[in-house]
Structure 1
Amino acid sequence: MVLDLVLIGLAIAVFPLSVTAFVLVLSAERGIWKGLVFILSWLACFVAVLAAVLLTTGGKPPAPDSPPSTASSAVKLAIGAGLVGYGWYRHVRRRRTGGPSASSASSGSSGGLTARLDRISLGTAAGLAPLLQPWGLVAAGAATVVDADLSETSTYLALFAYCVLATSSLLAMEVYTTFAPVSAHARLRKLHAWLRTHQDQAIVSVTLVVGLFLVGRSIHQLVS
């Protein structure tokens, strides 16, 4: 379970769409406060998902080869296949529509998004966080947490580390902007420019790596 959560947590942390949106939130007026409520809402959503799974399982992993265990592996297999399919779709679409025109369209849309995010309230920033989470990856994490055993202290540490790891990129940008706003904004502008031109490649890489890992892991669990 730990290895799965580490990989999924890293994938969530670097997922380009949520990182790009958070960069724009930080760049807005009162961006530090908006970024803070964004992170708190993001974490609250994570905790709510984990709590729902643990309440369902009672904090006890299903017995090996039992129907719940098989169902959990099948769900992870479906999620992994979905991530692979989505990554392949983005790859094919990028090859068909890539080029200067696609880059220009992305630039224009991000400019409009920047203008909209500059005017959002703190409440809206909090509401955006759950919407911008990569829910395919969050679902993969939830399916993995089914195997959590709350009778062991290490499980609590693993779940805490998973939440922090999945939020680490946002936390790092928030802290950097708070204590070094001038240099942070300059670096965040460069990060946003890079993401604007490499977003599709990054999404394809993240979804394919996690998807293939989940597919292989789930097949192994189902046949062993």
Structure 2
Amino acid sequence: MVLDLVLIGLAIAVFPLSVTAFVLVLSTRGGVWKGLIFILAWLACFVAVLAVVLLTTGGEPPAPRSPPSTAASAAKLAIGVGLLGYGWHRHRSGPGGRERTGSPAGCRPKSPGGLMGRLDRISLWTAAGLAPLLQPWGLVAAGAATVVDADLSHTSSYLALFAYCLLATSSLLTMEVYTTFAPDSARVRLGRLRTWIETHQEQALVTVALVAGLFLVSRSIAQLTS
């Protein structure tokens, strides 16, 4: 479980669309406060998802090859196949493809006049609402399917879940702290980061989708056949 959560958490942390959106939130007037609200709402979603899963399982992992265990592995397999298909689709359609519209991870890139272009006028409440909207929900669902194996009778499971939430939010936390204590330097460097991500968004999305997809498929097949 720990290895799965580490890779899924990393994939969520570097997901290009949510990182770009958070950079734009920080660049608005009062961006530090809006960024903080964004992060709190982001974490609240993670805690809510984990709570639902753990309440469903009772904090006890299902027995191997039991229906719940098989269902969780099958869900991860389906998500992994979806990520692989999406990554291959984006790769084949290319930078100029008309089909670059969707994301199995739960986010869609917006046109300059759309959501991203209006972030300079958002309120604190809007920033809070954007956090769950911009989460890569496909990857979050993969994390939820993995958390089914958590055993709350061991302290290590609590630590693993805490580390997962922290890792998935690490990029946002780093940018928030940097902007808070070095606003001038952060403005320049985060602007460069935004430009780089927008320039390399296709390659980044394809890489994240393929790497996460391959990992989930291989792990779920191993669990289903062991």
TM-score, normalization: structure 1? 0.93
Residue in structure 1 matched with residue 111 of structure 2 by the alignment = 109
* 1:92 to partner: Cα distance: 1.5
Residue in structure 2 matched with residue 202 of structure 1 by the alignment = 204
What secondary structure sits across from 1:151 in the alignment? coil
Give the number of equivalent residue pairs.
Answer: 215
Residue in structure 2 matched with residue 101 of structure 1 by the alignment = none
For 1:181 and 1:111, the matched residues in 2 are separated by 27
Greater relative CO, 1 or 2 (CA 8 Å, sep 6+):
1
Unmatched 5+ residue regions in structure 1?
A: 99-107
Q: 1:172 aligns with which of 166, 171, 174?
A: 174
Counterpart contact for 2:41–2:128, Cα < 8 Å: yes
- The letter of the residue matching 1:71 is A
Residue in structure 1 matched with residue 154 of structure 2 by the alignment = 152
Residue in structure 1 matched with residue 15 of structure 2 by the alignment = 15
Counterpart contact for 2:95–2:202, Cα < 8 Å: no
Matched, 1:5 2:5: yes
Unmatched 5+ residue regions in structure 2?
A: 99-109
Matched, 1:27 2:27: yes
Point out the more displaced range, 168-177 or 87-96: 87-96
For 2:34 and 2:84, the matched residues in 1 are separated by 33
Structure 1 residues 145 and 118, CA gap change in structure 2 (3 angstroms): same
Identity of aligned residues (%): 78
The runs of at least 4 consecutive aligned structure 1 residues that moved more than 3 Å come to: 108-115
* 1:94 to partner: Cα distance: 1.9
Where do 1:1-224 residues align within 5 Å?
Answer: 1-94=1-94, 97=97, 109-110=111-112, 113=115, 115-224=117-226
For 1:32 and 1:201, the matched residues in 2 are separated by 29
For 1:3 and 1:211, the matched residues in 2 are separated by 14
- The letter of the residue matching 2:3 is L
Counterpart contact for 2:8–2:212, Cα < 8 Å: yes
CA-based RMSD = 1.5
- The letter of the residue matching 2:134 is L
Decide which structure has greater helix share.
1
